[in-house]
Amino acid sequence: MCTVPVSLASPKTLPQLAACICSRSTTPTKGLAMANPFEETEAEYVALVNEEGQYSLWPTFVKVPDGWSIVLEKNDRATCLEYINEHWTDMRPKSLVDAMR
């Protein structure tokens, strides 16, 4: 069950929101699961980054959550993933990297 409204999305609730989007029914009476919007090869995406230097693939039909910025404009899934793989080379959050210095 979805507990995070899209309007309240934040970096902390992003994983939960993504799970909600993926689990919503396309037809309430039939309860058919919606295709995962993060795996649609023909869809359009953007690449996002947050203040911690963490990246995300994001479908263009979903509002960008507060705390996230678009770093690669509308593109195909493969191009966005390539961009993320090239730029997100350290999985540690920026605050952890700074604390370790």
Whether domain 9-99 has CATH 3.90.820.10: the reply is yes
Question: pLDDT tens for residues 19-45?
Answer: 655 554 444 445 556 678 889 999 999
Q: In sequence order, which ranges of the chain are alpha helices (DSSP H)? A: 14-23, 77-87, 94-99
Report the chain's C-alpha Rg in angstroms. 15
Domain residue ranges in the chain = 9-99
Question: pLDDT tens for residues 28-87?
Answer: 445 556 678 889 999 999 999 999 999 999 999 999 999 999 999 999 999 999 999 999
Handedness of CA 89, 94, 99, 101 (dihedral sign): positive
